[in-house]
Chains A and B, each alone.
Chain A
Amino acid sequence: MRIELRDMHKHYGSIKANNGINLTVEEGTIHGILGENGAGKSTLMKVLAGYITKTGGDIIIDGTVKDYHTPAEASIQGIGMLYQEPLDYPPLTVLENFMIGQAKGVSNQHSLFREKLEELIAHFNFTLDPDVIVKYLTVGERQQLEMLRLLSLGIEVLILDEPTTGISDLQKEALFNSLRKLASEGKSIILVSHKLKDSEALCDRVTVLRDGEVTGSMEKPYDANELLAMMFGEPPLPSTRSAVDYGETVLSMKNVSGLGERTGLSRCTIDIREGEMIGLAGLEGSGQGVFLRIAAGITKPTEGSLSFFGGNMIGKKLHAFKKEGVVFLPASRLEEGLMPDLSIQEHFALKEGGSSFFVKWDEARAESSQKTEKFRVKGTPDTIAEALSGGNQQRLMLSLLSKESTLLLLEQPTRGLDVESSNWVWWHLSKYCLRKTAVIFSSTDLDEIMSIADRILVFFDGRIIKDVQRDETDARELAEAIAGRV
């Protein structure tokens, strides 16, 4: 099946996630979609798979324009997608997961589908056991199952969204072999990835997206440098920042591992000193969140040692971390950072602490007025958190930070903010460094990291694969690291 996307648009209000994208995928080929965070790859594919409705443009399958609105309708057209978060049923068995949605009626069709499943497993040389409960499968195996299921539905176009995140090399090989086999059988494969190596190894053709638009495409064999240029654009001019004297070691991790996100965190060893401004680069979900949460005391590491100013923190409760002056700001504002039903004023009152029995509402109100003005939060002290826009929620969270802290851990602190606001935020945070606070932040914007951080850690597949001072590296090197090349 030949897929053509013509002038695809997907807008969220004023944000253009996809802005006039043209793309053609030929039958029997493996087509890669490359780009960094926020380029619009996932959005585009979700539109193609029927998960999201497009704002404009046409989807043309084998010459005819097709219109569909749900994943089920898309699969009738022959298009199926392997999502990053598997949409399956963990408590049920492999066979049952395979059957749901396909098997109809009241007669026992277990043996019929078992045959079908085992045939497919054999065809691709997978090692899936139909009677195992899906909860116990690895990410790679769940992917394999979903792929087989889509194939048995008669999918001709298979979309994979970052499929190699969090799976072993062996499973990756198995996956790639199965994809090559599918392509040779006439299916069209679309691979969305940020990993250069994978795309280079597997794809016949690659299209690069940046900021919602196509910046170029290339066929095999690939020129990595050109691809990187298409992905990341021109490197920004290094901005001058005043030097800060670093102080003692605040945080020290040795061989720390932890669970969370798709990749977890593996054997991280690092020392952070007072006054450092550290940026965590890498694709979202490569372990930065786990790292931040372990440092914050929210997640317990599965191994390794963790200490603050030399004092061991393994086994200590969250309160101990707070006493040390560690502050954490999560990326998911309403789920983890704010109280949706509480007003701005109430948040400040809550933050106050102190031992008084009664809430000092006057003080809280005054402080909230002051801070909302200073941080430019659009809302009155009585506006509830839920009613604020995403960007304003971010500003509220930042305004709640206390001036005294030893370590600030910020997960995507400028997410949802416009350029002007982001600049103001960074100016504000730089003052913390002057006060000897160590600041660690993660960001999906490499430009931002390069202009703000003194030191950059690149996360890839749950590991820190690069740890450099900003002046000792450039955008090209970092881009390569993010894409997996060191």
Chain B
Amino acid sequence: MTGFDLTILLGGVVAGAAPILLATLGETITEKAGIINLSLDGTIMLSAMTAFVVAFNTESLVAGFVSAAIVGALVAAVVGIFSIYLEQSQVAVGFVLTLMARDLAYFLGNPYTRLPGPSVGPQPIPLLKDIPFLGDVFFNHSFPVYLSLLLIGLIWWYMYRTPQGLRLRSVGENPGACFARGINPRSLQMVYVLCGGFFVGLAGATFSLCTKPGWGRPQGAEGTGWIALALVIFGGWHPIRAAIGAYLFAFLQVMGIYFQEWFPSVPAQVFQVAPFPLMIFTLIFINFAQKESVIKRAEGRGWLQVILRLFSGAMPTSLGKPHKTGQ
């Protein structure tokens, strides 16, 4: 891969970003409704395994995707029940689940390690793929990738253009006010937790049936869940910005492969590990940008304000706080 072809590069980014994007979008929905699902990493592993095993046994890719999505929703349901109805710490439950789901995945998926199985083939869209440059970048992929692209727009539209989406946002900001207006915050949050988990399940399936086909220990999807959680914050809980983050991340990953070739003396681990300190720096910067003192100093300097505005993330006010029943 010594040549440098921009279309191939960008095409690779769009394809590689698909599972991360799905997971990030799913978690954005969940967190927008006020619940943190820390079990992302484990859920992705478990749903990836489920997708592969089911697809392998039934020889149906659709069954694989659907079952993975259901598993994703099931794990999310556990988080939801514990945090919404049992009023336990979301972090505690999420953390235990992330470990447990991963171990469950390794255990149940063991017999299927390194077995060749079905995977989604490329499905270029007939007319659109012939558009110069854009065609190769966006329209020469497989179904899950198209789905991820579609979902960005769909989720944005739902959240910001429909009354139901407005309710989603409201319950994450002030569940008490929702209660006063006759909206049941609990059932609403549960619905969106399940919804988010559904998409995370799809992300796992995309890994084992499309992007990194197969199952093994390790599978290759390890760590993605944590990145997705960080991307939700980076994206300021907004689907489009989160999508940009996902593509940036995928871009960095792809560039990592190129850099390795160009600078063989730099240890491989630097590129593998680079996303994480980057993530930390971004979080620090976002926190910094929201400080009162910094905002004050930016007054009068338009360009600075634009940068700060870009990085300000509006965390849903009631994120992570269990809503006590009654007043």
Stretch at the interface among B17-25, B62-70, B180-188, B200-208: B180-188
Are A105 and B314 in contact, CB atoms less than 8 angstroms apart?
no
B167 is an interface residue with CB less than 8 A from chain A: yes
B177 touches A (CB below 8 Å):
yes
Q: Is there contact, CB below 8 Å, between A100 and B164?
A: no
The answer to whether A75 and B182 touch across the interface, beta carbons within 8 angstroms, is yes
Most chain A beta carbons < 10 A, residue from B162, B173, B179, B180: B180
Contact status of A72 and B166, CB under 8 A, knowing A51-B327, A91-B173, A91-B314: no
Cross-chain contact B164 with A105 (CB below 8 angstroms): yes
Question: Cβ of B182: which chain A residues have Cβ within 8 Å of it?
Answer: 70-73, 75, 101
Q: Is B277 an interface residue (CB 8 A)?
A: no
Residue of B161, B163, B164, B182 contacting most chain A CB atoms (<10 Å): B163
Report yes or no: B164 in contact with A72, Cβ–Cβ below 8 A. Answer: no
Docked pose: A484 CA to B169 CA in angstroms: 41
Indicate which residue in A71, A75, A90, A99 contacts B173 across the interface (CB closer than 8 Å). Answer: A90
The reply on B170 being an interface residue by CB < 8 A is: yes
Within 8 A of A (CB), among B153-175: 158, 161-164, 166-167, 169-170, 173-174
Determine the distance from Cα of A112 to Cα of B180 in the docked complex, in whole angstroms.
23
Decide yes or no whether A88 CB sits under 8 A from chain B. yes
**In the bound complex, do residue B177 and residue A88 qualify as a contact, i.e. CB atoms below 8 Å apart?**
yes
Identity of the chain A residue whose Cβ is nearest the Cβ of B316 in the assembled complex: A91
B177 in contact with A108 (CB, 8 Å): no
Q: Among A52, A70, A106, A110, which residue has its beta carbon within 8 angstroms of that of B164?
A: A106
Residues of A within 8 A of B166 (CB): 92, 96, 99-100, 103
Measured in the bound complex, the distance between the Cα atoms of B205 and A445 in whole Å is 66
Other-chain residue from B163, B174, B178, B327 in contact with A99 (beta carbon distance below 8 A)? B163
Number of A-B contacts defined by CB within 8 Å: 67
Count residues of B near A (Cβ-Cβ below 8 Å): 22
B177 touches A87 (CB 8 A): yes
Contact across chains for A104 and B163 when beta carbons are under 8 A apart: yes
Interface status of B109 (Cβ within 8 A of chain A): no
What's the least CB distance linking B33 to chain A, in Å? 13
- A89 in contact with B164 (CB, 8 Å): no
Judge if B317 is at the interface, Cβ distance under 8 Å: yes
Output the least CB separation between B141 and chain A (Å). 29
Bound complex: CA of A75 vs CA of B182, how far in Å?
9
> Once the chains are docked, how many angstroms separate the CA of A110 from the CA of B161?
8
Q: Measured between alpha carbons, how far is A99 from B179 in the docked complex, in Å?
A: 15
Q: Say whether B216 faces chain A, with CB atoms less than 8 Å apart.
A: no
Establish whether residues B180 and A108, one from each chain, have CB atoms under 8 Å apart when the complex forms.
Answer: no
From DSSP, what is the main secondary structure of chain B's interface residues?
helix
Interface: A107 (CB within 8 A): yes
- Per the bound structure, the CA–CA distance linking A89 and B317 in Å amounts to 9
**Which of B167, B170, B176: most chain A CB closer than 10 A?**
B170
Q: Is the CB of B163 within 8 A of A71?
A: no
Name A108's closest neighbour in chain B (CB-CB). Answer: B161
Contacts of B176 in A (CB 8 A): 87
In the assembled complex, the CB of A104 is this many whole angstroms from the nearest CB of chain B, namely 6
Give every chain A residue within 8 A of B314 (Cβ-Cβ): 91
Q: Is A302 an interface residue (CB 8 A)?
A: no
C-alpha gap A51/B158 in the complex (Å): 31
Q: Are A105 and B162 in contact (CB under 8 A)?
A: yes
What residue of chain A has the Cβ atom nearest to residue B163's Cβ? A103
Task: Report B-chain residues with C-beta under 8 Å of the C-beta of A380.
Answer: none
Are A100 and B170 closer than 8 Å at their CB atoms? yes
User: Is A168 an interface residue when CB atoms closer than 8 A count as contact?
Assistant: no
Residues of chain B lying within 8 A (CB to CB) of residue A110: 161
> Which residues of chain B in 59-103 are interfacial with respect to chain A, using CB atoms and an 8 Å cutoff?
none
In the bound assembly, the distance between CA atoms of A109 and B160 in angstroms comes to 11
Q: In the complex, what's the smallest C-beta–C-beta distance from B262 to chain A, in angstroms?
A: 44
Contact (Cβ within 8 A) B163 A89:
no
Write out the residue numbers on chain B whose beta carbons fall within 8 Å of the beta carbon of A91.
Answer: 173, 314, 317
In Å, the complex CA distance between A75 and B169 comes to 23
Instruction: Give the Cβ gap from B14 to chain A, nearest Cβ, in Å.
Output: 29
Closest to A53 in B: B326
30 contacts between A and B (CB under 8 A): A70-B179, A71-B179, A71-B181, A71-B182, A72-B181, A72-B182, A87-B174, A87-B176, A88-B174, A88-B177, A89-B169, A90-B317, A91-B173, A92-B166, A92-B169, A92-B173, A96-B166, A96-B170, A99-B166, A100-B167, A100-B181, A101-B182, A103-B163, A105-B162, A106-B158, A106-B164, A107-B162, A107-B163, A108-B162, A110-B161
Interface pairs A-B: 8 shortest CB-CB: A72-B182, A101-B181, A103-B163, A87-B177, A71-B180, A89-B173, A100-B170, A106-B162
B residues neighboring A (CB under 8 Å)? 158, 161-164, 166-167, 169-170, 173-174, 176-183, 314, 317, 327
- 18 more A-B residue pairs beyond the given contacts A72-B181, A91-B317, with a C-beta to C-beta distance below 8 A: A70-B179, A71-B179, A71-B180, A73-B182, A87-B176, A89-B170, A89-B177, A90-B173, A92-B170, A100-B183, A101-B178, A103-B163, A104-B163, A105-B162, A105-B164, A106-B162, A106-B164, A110-B161
